[in-house]
């Protein structure tokens, strides 16, 4: 059956703007595009340890059969959530099927009709979708601009205010000043919520995330960790108080009305977290590669085109969909998988090449890809 005409027009508009999304094909290029920051998604040891754990504990590797509130709450959930809450020094942990489910589940359920949500203008789509489903009023503040945030806070005295940000932003790779943000939240008794999707496995000696690395985690109302990046597996977790966990179990629709993860999926999460405890060398290698990347882009005169970032995400602004796609293709033709980020995913004029740094990228690969970028531009 043919698509409705209005949907066909939307597709045609994307084609005309050179912004049509397509599924990428498999390639053997050097990886500068995935979120597999420390190589866990391809870890043979995690694969084997997960299997051994299930066998040794006589856990049947079947699929889940329903919501965790009905038949999907197998014993592994409690083991994994207890381990994760201890790892993150949190009172409780509640596992969701994905980072998207966690963000939608939290923001659609926790802020209430007379509450206010203040969110960074560059917040991820999953946060925005959850906010859209909330009954609370919401307002965005300028990116990492806490003067603008305080201006908004002062408009709503005697109101429950939720402040939302990311510890590393997925498109720019930059971070807010979390110490300043925590102080501002405490000054006005706001509830601070942070999405740590791109800091888990990256910041801290054990990859515990940026807020914990900075010893600010006890000053944050809720932390949302996503496993589909550095942990290389399905799922996410919301960290917070026991009361928050109880509330989410009762009112978070993306938790209540979905089939729970299989025992194998939860076992993989548990094993991945256990591996974080012993992978200090791998996490340090990632940290050294990030430093090297920043040093080399400075030496090659590329610093002005990059967004300032100390994370594994490094973005070079190349305005125009056609321009950035052409440049990405040149790098791919030379063997490096660097993806272009097009408008409308980012604002028009802010199109960019997004480099993701990994522990398994060699010094030679980092040098080569940046030299190719320089030679393609200058």
- Ranges of residues in the chain with a pLDDT under 50 are none
DSSP 18-56: T----PPPP--SEESS-S-TTSGGG-HHHHHHHHHHHHH
**How far is 272 from 83, CA to CA, in rounded Å?**
11
In sequence order, what DSSP letters do the residues of 123-192 get, joined into one string? Answer: --HHHHHHHHHSSSEEEEE-TT-HHHHHHHHTTSTTS-EEEEEESS-TTT-----HHHHHHHHHHTT-EE
Question: Which secondary structure element, helix H or strand E, spans residue 339, and what is its range?
Answer: strand 339-341
- Give me the residue label for tokens 């009954």: 135
| pLDDT computed for residue 180 by the predictor | 98
Count of alpha carbons within 13 angstroms of residue 300, beta-carbon side: 22
pLDDT at position 222, please? Answer: 98
pLDDT of residue 298: 95
pLDDT of residue 360: 97
In 3D space, the residue among 207, 261, 212, 217 whose CA is nearest the CA of residue 241 turns out to be 217
- If DSSP codes are grouped into helix, strand and coil, which group holds residue 83? helix
Residue 127: per-residue pLDDT: 97
Residue appearing with tokens 């799922």? 235
* Predicted pLDDT of residue 64: 64
Pair of tokens at residue 278:
């012993």
CA distances from 26 to 30, 292, 361 (A): 12, 28, 19
Q: Reduce the DSSP state of residue 230 to 3 states and report it.
A: coil
Q: pLDDT value at position 26?
A: 73
CB 343 within 8 A of CB 171: no
pLDDT at 61: 58
pLDDT at 233 (0 to 100): 96
pLDDT computed for residue 62 by the predictor = 61
**Domains identified in the chain and CATH numbers:** 29-40+280-377 (3.90.1150.10), 59-276 (3.40.640.10)
What pLDDT, on the 0 to 100 scale, is given for residue 151? 98
């Amino acid at each position: 059956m043919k698509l409705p005409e209005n949907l066909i027009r939307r597709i045609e508009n994307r084609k005309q703007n050179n912004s049509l999304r397509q599924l990428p094909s498999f390639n053997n290029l050097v990886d500068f595009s995935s979120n597999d920051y420390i190589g866990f998604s391809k870890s043979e040891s995690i694969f084997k340890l997960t299997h051994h754990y299930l066998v040794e504990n006589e856990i049947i590797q079947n699929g889940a059969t329903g919501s965790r509130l009905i038949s999907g709450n197998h014993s592994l959930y409690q083991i994994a959530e207890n381990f994760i809450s201890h790892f993150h020094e949190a009172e409780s942990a509640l596992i969701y099927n994905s980072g998207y489910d966690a963000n939608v589940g939290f923001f659609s359920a926790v802020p209430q009709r007379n509450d206010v949500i203040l969110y960074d203008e560059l917040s991820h789509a999953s946060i925005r979708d959850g906010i859209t489903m909330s009954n609370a009023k919401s307002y965005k503040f300028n990116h990492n601009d806490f003067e603008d945030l305080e201006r908004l806070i002062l408009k709503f005295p005697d109101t429950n205010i939720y402040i939302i940000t990311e510890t590393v932003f997925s498109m720019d790779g930059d971070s807010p000043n979390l110490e300043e943000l925590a102080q501002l939240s405490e000054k006005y008794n706001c509830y601070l919520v942070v999405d740590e999707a791109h800091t888990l496995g990256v910041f801290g000696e054990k990859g515990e995330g940026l807020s914990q690395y900075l010893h600010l985690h006890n000053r944050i109302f809720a932390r949302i960790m996503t496993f589909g990046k550095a942990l290389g597996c399905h799922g996410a977790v919301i960290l917070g108080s026991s009361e928050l966990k109880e509330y989410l179990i009762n009112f978070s629709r993306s938790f209540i009305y979905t089939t729970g993860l299989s025992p194998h999926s939860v076992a993989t999460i548990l094993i991945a977290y256990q591996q974080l405890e012993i992978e200090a060398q791998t996490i340090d290698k990632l940290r050294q590669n990030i430093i090297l990347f920043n040093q080399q882009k400075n030496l090659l005169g590329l610093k002005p085109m990059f967004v300032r970032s100390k994370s594994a995400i490094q973005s070079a602004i190349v305005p125009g969909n056609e321009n950035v796609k052409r440049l990405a293709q040149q790098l791919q033709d030379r063997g490096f998988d660097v993806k272009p980020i097009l408008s409308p995913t980012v604002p028009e004029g802010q199109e960019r090449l997004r480099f993701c740094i990994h522990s398994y990228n060699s010094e030679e690969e980092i040098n080569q890809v940046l030299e190719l970028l320089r030679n393609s531009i200058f």
